[in-house]
Structure 1
Amino acid sequence: MSMFFQVVAPMVFVLLWSSAFIAAKFGVAHVEPFTFLGARFALVTAIFTIIALAVKAPWPRSIRSWHNIAVVGLFLHAFYLSSVFVAIHGGMPSGLVALVSGLQPVLTAIAAGLFLGEPPSARQWAGCVTGFAGMVLVLSDQMSIEGVTFIGIGLSVLALLSISFGTLYQKRNAAEMNLLTGNAIMAGTGSLVTLAAAALFESMEIVWAPAFVGAFLWLSIAVSLGAYSLLMLLIKHGQATKVASLFYLVPPTAAVMAYIAFGEEISLLAGLGILVTAGGVALVVLPQRKPA
């Protein structure tokens, strides 16, 4: 089981999470962001609920437990993804959004030491800094000041704070939740918030083009069911700093996927950044040899 959480689960999580950016590029051309997310979370809620009822998975027994899981869903589903989608939909360069939200491992490392009693080691700090430097190199070709606004920057910072807080809150207050019922509650929370926002600010029209349907199903099933479930497991069984550092690998992996899917070139600098990022993450996540 330890090999699964150390190697297999992180690799699958990074691949699934990175694929979301590729799928989103296909989908957002046919629907507004809150409508997209609201419909996606509604489908995910239905799937998790049906599976949970079929296998008779336990639901939380206290209002406090329901509240804690809903808070995680509010930050990891509603606030984080809404901030990213709305910022990019409003013209904010995706590379800059990724760069700001990519500070999450550093922020998580600081907060984990303060609030969870998990102070990062010197090697993990070095890995955080190295991983961020590598991510900057990977995203350097996508950096542009065109389209940058105070609102876009604010949404990017909100995404950073939301995913950092949601990760820490889940580790501290909802680590023992059932995977099926917990994800149903989290997705339901995200759906209620994003559908309310869509009703207030958007037309809620969807163009059911093949590209949208494919992206919608992939994001709902593979990413929301697969990636988020793996994230919950990794948070439960791992140190918060180690789990957060995996997000450094998302931009490099997404860059490789974009090269395969869209023919987007990877510069020599970005290629170097991929190697540097991988080295930084390795410093954080690989087991340290304990002194005799």
Structure 2
Amino acid sequence: MTQFTPLLFVLLWSSGFIGAKLGLPNAEPLTFLLLRYVVVIVLMSGLALAAHARWPSDGRQIMHIAISGTLLHALYLGGVFTAIHRGLPAGITALIVGIQPLLTALGAGALLGERVVTRQWIGLLLGFAGVAMVVAHKTGAVPSTEVVSMLAPALVALLGITLGTLYQKRFCPRFDLRAGSVVQFAASALLTLPVACATETMHIDWTPHFVFALGWLVLVLSIGAISLLNLLIRRGSAVNVARLFYLTPPTTALLAWAVFGETLTGLALPGMLAAVTGVWLARPR
């Protein structure tokens, strides 16, 4: 794993919020994700078969990979997409999910036996403060009458990404990324399908923006960024992986400024600096 892998992961992962903003006007969130899962399953199955990838043969390993997949994909992505679809600004969604490194650090000691030193705790707290500064100007965009409806899916996403990182590091840190991804996304699709059928119309407007967003999320996020995330979980501590998520909101803000012309407030730049400093402090020895 090269020294640039974490930075590449942050860039690719951050672009997911941009893809969601482009595609969600044309499809309901779970329908969008279900289609994304199916396309990834087809592509990764073909890649795994062509490369003679090693498929998990042990039932227990398959179960662990499937559970980690539903946490990292079905719960996390489903929560994020539903929150944004209901009108929660992407910045606020990122802020809520930004609590994940702190929760992961709390769980890493109890579940994984990882020791988090004082310097890392300071870095994690500083990183969260930086994230809050970057997205502070968007806090007033949430109507008080719809706070619970908007925030609930984001909290589900926070739970999913935190438990998913800890669970995969604890029970299935090593598996073939091609074959394992098929298992993870198949489990996510099986969980998402009945919920989407029960709560959504399943209608899709096949506009050029939607097709581009779907292709981007499949190739760049589900195949590229998720593969990098699995590599990071395999080779690093849970806290070391989690701290990188503090860089997502600042990177997303910069991408939104470049792509959509969204403004950056006076707190954004010092917030980005604080987030980067926090990530640096939270690094392992």
CA distance in 2, matches of 1:263, 1:55: 42
The match for 1:129 is 125
The match for 1:273 is 271
Any residues of structure 2 matched to 1:205-216 within 5 Å, and which? 205-216=203-214
Shift of 1:95: 2.5
CA distance in 1, matches of 2:45, 2:4: 27
Any residues of structure 2 matched to 1:1-292 within 5 Å, and which? 1=1, 4=2, 7-144=3-140, 145-146=142-143, 148-285=146-283, 287-288=284-285
Q: Secondary structure at the match of 1:29?
A: helix
Shift of 1:199: 1.3
Amino acid paired to 1:46 = V
Deviations 1:68-89 (A, max 9, x none): 0000111101011111111221
Unaligned runs of 5+ in 1: none
CA distance in 2, matches of 1:235, 1:185: 17
Q: Is the 8 A contact 1:48 1:181 kept in 2?
A: yes
Deviations 1:107-126 (A, max 9, x none): 00010011101021111101
Shift of 1:97: 2.1
CA distance in 1, matches of 2:86, 2:254: 25
Percentage of matched positions with identical amino acids: 45
CA distance in 2, matches of 1:182, 1:233: 12
Q: Normalization by structure 2: what TM-score?
A: 0.96
Shift of 1:93: 3.2
Q: How many residues align?
A: 283
CA distance in 2, matches of 1:96, 1:52: 37
CA distance in 2, matches of 1:187, 1:215: 18
CA distance in 2, matches of 1:192, 1:39: 12
Shift of 1:102: 0.8
Unaligned runs of 5+ in 2: none
Shift of 1:101: 1.2
CA distance in 2, matches of 1:142, 1:150: 17
Shift of 1:98: 1.7
Q: Secondary structure at the match of 1:152?
A: helix
Deviations 1:12-55 (A, max 9, x none): 10000000111111100100001000000111111111111111
Superposed CA RMSD in Å reads 1.2
